[in-house]
Homo-oligomer: A and B are copies of this chain.
């Protein structure tokens, strides 16, 4: 049975997400629809792209339909992407970067610009374009049935924060990272791969001029409740955490803020 994975910024109070389910059920009655999240902040393309990249390795076969689309109805392209690997075969959405990181991680085979059924502008392309296309792919349509091929190098890339390093006077390395995600529990994921930090080491953390020394641990339970630490999180990224508490509150950080780590590091890419 085919599966369709949804990511939107629709929220769950309005009927938008439910209507996507209904539209898919009509066109692909046997497909099973899984809500990855409808809680992306309104218009937050980068947040949705990061969420999808985190979830993608765990999805298995199916079709991703991601609709976070500040430019709905405008000039930006609507696309379907076919990828390699044993995860989702297709990703559908606006060409604004929401799909690209997850698609590149699988390896892009080809992509098309979606043909619209009507010349009329729609203000709800999730309902009128993206969900129907996802349903058609779930029932066996081929990419070539859906639109014209496009140059995959022309797909819009999400903005990506870089990781910078510098040597400190006392022979350490200072790594300037960016907060990529804060989850419901206040764990602060950085744009640094997990292998950059070595378990049992101690690192300096500098945020907004304040610094602290924290231990690198393997899991929350290695820290006393209320204590801060660094760990390789469930996406194998570096996360700043507080056991049974919120690191985001403790360090007063938000997505996009900079966090400097000071000490010794493994490979950064």
Give me the interface of A with B, judged by CB distance under 8 Å: 1, 3, 5, 7, 9-19, 21-23, 25-26, 29, 32, 34-40, 42-43, 51-52, 54-55, 58-60, 70-75, 120-124, 127-128, 183-185, 218-222, 225, 231, 233-234, 244
Which residue from chain B places its CB closest to the CB of A69 in the assembled complex? Answer: B220
Contact: A12 with B15, CB < 8 Å?
A: no
Given contacts A58-B127, A124-B234, A219-B123, are A5 and B34 in contact (CB under 8 A)? no
Which residue from chain B places its CB closest to the CB of A37 in the assembled complex? Answer: B15
Which residue from chain B places its CB closest to the CB of A187 in the assembled complex? Answer: B123
Given contacts A72-B219, A220-B74, A220-B123, are A185 and B42 in contact (CB under 8 A)? yes
CA distance A205 to B55 in the complex (A): 44
Contact: B1 with A221, CB < 8 Å?
A: no
CA distance A120 to B183 in the complex (A): 22
| Chain B residues closer than 8 Å to A54, beta-carbon distance | 15
CA distance A59 to B220 in the complex (A): 33
| CB-defined A-B contacts under 8 Å, sample of 20 | A3-B25, A5-B18, A7-B15, A11-B184, A12-B12, A12-B35, A12-B39, A14-B51, A16-B184, A17-B35, A19-B58, A21-B35, A42-B184, A72-B221, A73-B222, A120-B218, A121-B218, A121-B221, A122-B219, A127-B234
Contact: B60 with A36, CB < 8 Å?
A: no
A215 → B minimal CB distance (Å): 14
CA distance A72 to B183 in the complex (A): 16
Contact of A219 among B7, B59, B73 (CB under 8 A): B73
CA distance A43 to B186 in the complex (A): 12
CA distance A120 to B232 in the complex (A): 11
| Chain B residues closer than 8 Å to A51, beta-carbon distance | 14-15
Contact: B36 with A71, CB < 8 Å?
A: no
Contact: A60 with B12, CB < 8 Å?
A: no
| Chain B residues closer than 8 Å to A244, beta-carbon distance | 43, 70
Contact of A231 among B59, B60, B123 (CB under 8 A): B123
| Chain B residues closer than 8 Å to A12, beta-carbon distance | 12, 35, 37-39
Contact: A184 with B123, CB < 8 Å?
A: no
Contact of A13 among B37, B70, B74 (CB under 8 A): B37
Contact of A15 among B19, B36, B124 (CB under 8 A): B36
CA distance A16 to B21 in the complex (A): 20
